[in-house]
Amino acid sequence: MTKFIAKRILLSLATLFVILFILFLLLQFMPGSPFNDEKLTAAQQAVLMAKYGLDKPFFIRFWIYLQNVVLRGDFGISYAIKKDMLVSGIVIARLGTSVRIGLQALLLGVSLGVLFGVISGSKRNTWMDSMATVAAVIGVSIPSYVLALVLSFVLGYKFRIFSITYQVDQPLWSSILPTIALSFFVMAQTTRFLRTELIEVLASDYVKLVDAKGVARPKVILRHGLRNAMISVITILGPLTVNLMTGSLVVERVYGIPGIGSLLVEGIQVNDYNVIIMIAFVYSALYIFVNLIVDILYGVIDPRIRVAKGG
């Protein structure tokens, strides 16, 4: 098990390195740099280039870049959003809000998804199942920004229950709408996946044997059905995280949340590359981290992996 985890961590680090390299490579090709400003003279441009170290050979630049990133977490300075400020400072300051709202959405979505999935999978072909199935297919189909727009229009603007935008002084209350908007897909996807898994598990021989033991139905479903089905549900945490990140870009924009999602969109619009690269890196790292956790969790939960064969 320890060996397995060590191997996974090593692979994760290797992937991160490759990603950093690709990001750096892309950085070289990004068009429309702020230094192309026509008002600048050639001399001014050269000064800027030298200042940012953009005139040295590629691999040397990457080596310097790598050292900065690994040793100091330094992704360079912002060209446009907050001129000359360290990118890492800007990103880290806004990371907390994004992660918090993301986790809120994950928690809400997964809990509701498990609830609906269990109801749907164990009461197959009932009206409750049909309701959950319809809600779930709508949930995976409607983009989160559409939901964000609808929620802020109806609950924020028409009925004025929540504020239309995020308020820094009310971090919880004003994050309710974005959390709901983000969690809907998570909920729907969890419901769908769990339903399929649960139906399969409940039809398995071992659940039939539990049934034959005369165990009461709720216990059969929760103790044996859900437990086994959840092992597979853990695997969708990775894809769900990507979805939350994607959703956060647009949802943060709709609600004006000062998170890294909206920062990335801002960075894209003003071509602030270092900001873009760092956030892309943070996203990748988060994704790889979640996948690592999933692999480890999988091993912890499933005795077939946790306990070595034989003995």
Partner 1 sequence: MKENRILEVNHLDLSFRLGNEVNHVIRDISFHLNQGETLAIVGESGSGKSVTTKAILGMIDDNGFLGKGEILFRTSRTGKEDEIVDLTKKDKKYMQKYVRGSKIAIIFQDPMTSLDPTMTIGKQIMESMLEHKKVASKKEAMAKTIQLLDLVGIEQPEKRVRQYPHQLSGGMRQRVVIAIALACEPDVLIADEPTTALDVTIQSQILELIKDLQKKTGVSIIFITHDLGVVANVADRVAVMYAGKIVEEGLASEIYYDPRHPYTWGLLSSIPSLDGQDEEIYSIPGTPPNLIDPPKGDAFAYRSEYALEIDFEEQPPMFQISDTHFAASWLLHPSAPKVDMPLVLAKRIAAFNERRSQE
Partner 2 sequence: MDDRKERFNRVQLRDSKQQEMLVGSTTPFLKDAWRRFTKNKGALVGLVAIAVIFLFALIGPYINEHAYNVLDKIHINLPPRIPFLEKLGIFDGSEGNYNPYIEKGFTNDYFWFGTDVLGRDLWDRVWMGTRISFYIAMVAVGIDMVIGIGYGMVSGFFGGKVDMVMQRIVEILSGIPNLVVVTLFVLVLKPGMVSIILALMITGWISMSRVVRSQVLKMKEHEFILAAKTLGANSFVILFKELLPNIIGQIIVMTMFSIPNAIFYESFLAFIGLGLQPPLASLGVLIADGYRAMITHPHLVIFPTVVLSVLMLSFNLIADGLRDAFDPKMKGF
288 binds, options partner 2, partner 1, none, Cβ within 5 to 8 A by partner type:
partner 2
> Considering beta carbons, is residue 30 or 60 the nearer one to partner 2?
30
Site membership for partner 2, residue 132 (CB under 8 A): no
Site membership for partner 2, residue 101 (CB under 8 A): no
Number of neighbouring beta carbons within 10 Å of residue 222: 12
293: left (phi over 0), alpha (psi -120 to 50) or beta: alpha
Tokens 């598990």 correspond to 201
CB of 228 to partner 1, least distance (A): 6
CB of 138 to partner 2, least distance (A): 6
Binders of partner 2 in range 157-196 (CB under 8 A): 157
- The only residue of 13, 211, 242, 289 in contact with partner 1, by rule CB under 8 A: 211
CB of 219 to partner 2, least distance (A): 26
What does the alpha-carbon distance between residue 186 and residue 244 come to, in Å, rounded to a whole number? 8
Site membership for partner 2, residue 138 (CB under 8 A): yes
CA dist list (Å): 3 to 116, 296, 298: 37, 11, 15
1 close to 302: Cβ distance less than 8 angstroms: no
What does the alpha-carbon distance between residue 263 and residue 116 come to, in Å, rounded to a whole number? 34
Site membership for partner 2, residue 95 (CB under 8 A): no
Tokens 């060590």 correspond to 6
> Considering beta carbons, is residue 229 or 264 the nearer one to partner 2?
264
> Considering beta carbons, is residue 183 or 262 the nearer one to partner 2?
262
What does the alpha-carbon distance between residue 293 and residue 279 come to, in Å, rounded to a whole number? 21
Site membership for partner 2, residue 297 (CB under 8 A): no
Binders of partner 1 in range 225-244 (CB under 8 A): 227-228, 231
Site membership for partner 2, residue 154 (CB under 8 A): no
> Considering beta carbons, is residue 94 or 224 the nearer one to partner 1?
224
What does the alpha-carbon distance between residue 241 and residue 103 come to, in Å, rounded to a whole number? 9
Site membership for partner 1, residue 127 (CB under 8 A): no
What does the alpha-carbon distance between residue 239 and residue 189 come to, in Å, rounded to a whole number? 10
Binders of partner 1 in range 14-43 (CB under 8 A): none
CB of 204 to partner 1, least distance (A): 7
What does the alpha-carbon distance between residue 49 and residue 34 come to, in Å, rounded to a whole number? 11
278 binds, options partner 1, partner 2, none, Cβ within 5 to 8 A by partner type:
none
Q: Count Cα atoms within 13 angstroms, Cβ side, for 49.
A: 16
Number of neighbouring beta carbons within 10 Å of residue 283: 20
Tokens 């360290």 correspond to 86
What tokens appear for 309 in the block? 């064969």
What does the alpha-carbon distance between residue 134 and residue 188 come to, in Å, rounded to a whole number? 9
Residues contributing to the site for partner 2 (CB under 8 A):
11-12, 15, 18-19, 22-23, 26, 29-31, 134, 137-138, 140-143, 145-146, 149, 153, 157, 200, 241-242, 245-246, 249-250, 253-254, 264-265, 268-269, 276, 280, 283-284, 287-288, 291
Residues contributing to the site for partner 1 (CB under 8 A):
204-217, 219, 224, 227-228, 231, 301-304, 307, 309-311
